[in-house]
Amino acid sequence: MDFHLIEGLITQYFSILRSHTNDKDTYFVVADYEPDKFSDLVRKLDSKGYIPFISSYEDSYKIKIAQKPESGESRTYINVILFMLTLGTTIFAGYLLGGNIWKAMAFAVALLAILGTHETAHFLTARKHGVKSTLPYFIPAPTIIGTFGAVISIKSPIPTRNSLFDLGYSGPLAGILVAIPVLLIGLHYSTPSINHGASLMFFPPLIMIAFSYLVAPNITPDQVLLLHPVAFAGWVGILVTMLNLMPVAFLDGGHISRSLFGQEVHRKLSIIGIVITLALGWFVMAILMIYLLRRVHPGALDNVAPISKGRKIIAVIMLIIFILCLSPIPIPQM
C-alpha cells in the first residue's frame, strides 16, 4: 500500500490531523467532512486501487483505507445453467408434494417467481446506486423444495448508508409482495381433510393466519387443511423473507441494521437475530449466521452522511413485516 500516495490524495480534500499505518490497518483522522469531497476522493482512490471508508471518530472523522479487491468477469451462462437446473429440481420437488405434473409446475413457477423477484430487486437497486453486481444465481438442491434459494454477488463497494439500506430492504419487500398473492391463490385451492395424523405440524406465521381466514376453506375441529403446493411455495416465500430480514451480518436485515447503526450495535443485533433463529428452530440457518458473523460488516463507504427520513419510515414497515413473518420450524409428528 502506497501510504504517501494515499496521504497526498486525502490532503487535496481534507485536513489530516493524524495517521496510522501497519501491515493490518491504515487510517487517517481528518478534521472536516463534506459528502461531495469524499465522493471525489472515492473516485480518485478507486483509480489507484484503493477503497476509503469514512466514519465519525470522537470529534472528527476517520478514513480507513482498504486495498481494492480484484473482481472477475461474470459468466451469464452459469446463471442460465443454474436456473435451468433449479427449474428441474423444483418441478421434481413439486411433483413429490402434489402428485401430478400440473401441481409440480405450479409449485416451481410460484417459488421461482418469489425467489427471482427478491434477487432481481437487489440487482436493479444495485444498478440504480452504481454498485456492480451479478445477475441472480439460483441454487438447485435435493431438498423438499428443490433449491437452496438464490443469491447475487456484490462486486463493488456500496457508496452511502442510503444505498446500503436500499440494497437491504428491496429484496425482502419485493419478494413478500409476490409471496402474498401466491399464498392467497394457494390457500384458495387448498382442501380440508380428515385429520389422520399429519406428518408435519405447522405453526403458521401471523400473516398466513390472517390470509387463511380470508380465503382458505372452512375446516371443522376434526379436519386439517392440506396445503396446495402453491400455498406451500407461498409459505416458503414468507420463510425466506423472515430469515433474510434477520438483522445479522451480511443478510438483508444485516444491511438494514448496519445502515441505521454503527458496528457495535450491528453486532449486538446480529447476536439477537441468531438467538431468535435458534429459538424458532432453524438451527442450520443459525450456524450459517454464526459463520457470516466472523467478518465485520464495514458498512457503506460513507458512514457519516445521515440516512433519509423516508427510509427510517420504511425501516419500521420492514420491522412489522419481519414480525408478521416469524415462523417456527415445522415439527415432525410421531
Please choose, from the candidates 107, 92, 93, the residue with its C-alpha nearest in 3D space to the C-alpha of residue 228: 107
| C-alpha grid cell, residue 295 | 467478518
Question: Which residue, chain included where needed, has cell 427510509?
Answer: 311
CATH fold of 3-67, please? Answer: Gyrase A; domain 2 (3.30.1360)
* Alpha carbons 189 and 184: distance in angstroms, whole number: 9
Question: Which residue, chain included where needed, has cell 484503493?
Answer: 50
Q: Identify the segments of the chain with pLDDT beneath 70.
A: 195-200, 333-334
- Residue 73 pLDDT: 74
Report domain extents, the chain. Answer: 3-67, 76-332
- Residue 272 pLDDT: 97
| C-alpha grid cell, residue 265 | 450495535
The residue type at 246: M
Please choose, from the candidates 302, 315, 327, 320, the residue with its C-alpha nearest in 3D space to the C-alpha of residue 170: 315
Q: Quote the percentage of the chain above a pLDDT of 70.
A: 97
CA distances from 313 to 169, 256, 257, 260, 303 (A): 12, 12, 14, 12, 19
Terminal CA-CA length for the chain: 62
- What dihedral angle (degrees, nearest 10) is formed by the CA atoms of 96, 98, 100, 103? -120
- Residue 198 pLDDT: 56
- Residue 58 pLDDT: 87
Please choose, from the candidates 157, 179, 173, 123, the residue with its C-alpha nearest in 3D space to the C-alpha of residue 313: 173
Q: What is the pTM of this model?
A: 0.92
pLDDT tens figures, 173-220: 999 999 999 999 999 998 887 765 556 677 889 999 999 888 877 777
Q: 240 exposed, middle or buried (CB, 10 Å; 0-12, 13-18, 19+)? A: buried
- Residue 169 pLDDT: 97
